[in-house]
């Protein structure tokens, strides 16, 4: 009997424990929320599906709010990111640029959000935006460097431009010419996926 118990203990020990599901939050504006798209076509849902297809046990909650600015995000980040969240995809700033909000203000708000999450032990994947051309070179020169500089300063994963591959293709946007359609979301997810995988793997290993 003792022999059988010992063998059983060895077998049980040899079976790897199943890793817990990684609960992520996609925190952003209408680009994250999925403006005029069904919930299953929004970026968080499509990215979750793509990551699961790659073998990653993740969920991605959609905490996107249309029209949100970095100021609005800062005001709600404490209650929009629940306890138990293992990582946040932070995408804000597009509406700041469209409204001509001072880039210094956007930077300050993004720093505050990153630090709030850091204080809770929640890593960030920072999603960059670019100022629209009509804002001029001076504005772009102050706005565009925010994301790479903060990613470097805080050691966060960075995706340089959320609308990469979509912004100049009208066929990938809805009628307003600004927001991605379902096909556009598909392009965004495809390009975003390698960075998302790197982020998820770092969370899984505690790196």
Catalytic residues: 30, 176, 179
Backbone Cα Rg of the chain: 20
Distance CA 11, CA 169 (A): 56
Taking each helix axis from N to C end, the angle separating 43-53 and 182-205, rounded to the nearest 10 degrees, works out to: 60
Ordered DSSP codes for 17-59:
PPPPPEEEEEEESHHHHTTTS-GGGSHHHHHHHHHHHTT--EE
CA distances from 98 to 22, 43, 77, 94, 140 (A): 34, 21, 21, 6, 11
Q: Do 204 and 22 meet the contact criterion of CB atoms below 8 Å apart?
A: yes
Q: Do 165 and 148 meet the contact criterion of CB atoms below 8 Å apart?
A: no
């Amino acid at each position: 009997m003792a022999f059988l118990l010992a063998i059983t203990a060895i077998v049980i020990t040899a079976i790897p424990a199943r890793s817990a599901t990684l609960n992520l939050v996609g925190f952003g504006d209408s680009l994250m929320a999925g403006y005029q798209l069904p919930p299953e076509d929004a970026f968080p849902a499509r990215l979750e599906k793509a990551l699961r297809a790659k073998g990653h046990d993740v969920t991605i909650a959609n905490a996107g709010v249309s029209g949100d600015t970095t100021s609005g995000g800062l005001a709600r980040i404490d209650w929009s990111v629940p306890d138990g969240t293992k990582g946040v995809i932070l995408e804000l700033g597009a509406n700041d640029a469209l409204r001509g909000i001072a880039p210094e203000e956007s930077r300050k708000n993004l720093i505050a959000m990153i630090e709030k999450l850091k204080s809770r032990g929640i890593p960030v994947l920072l999603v960059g935006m670019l100022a629209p051309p009509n804002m001029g070179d001076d504005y772009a020169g102050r706005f565009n460097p925010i994301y790479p500089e903060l990613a470097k300063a805080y050691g966060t994963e960075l995706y340089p431009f959320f609308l990469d591959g979509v912004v100049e293709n009208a066929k990938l946007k809805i009628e307003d010419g600004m927001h991605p359609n379902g096909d556009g979301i598909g392009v965004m997810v495809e390009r975003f996926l390698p960075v998302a995988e790197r982020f998820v793997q770092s969370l899984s290993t505690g790196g």
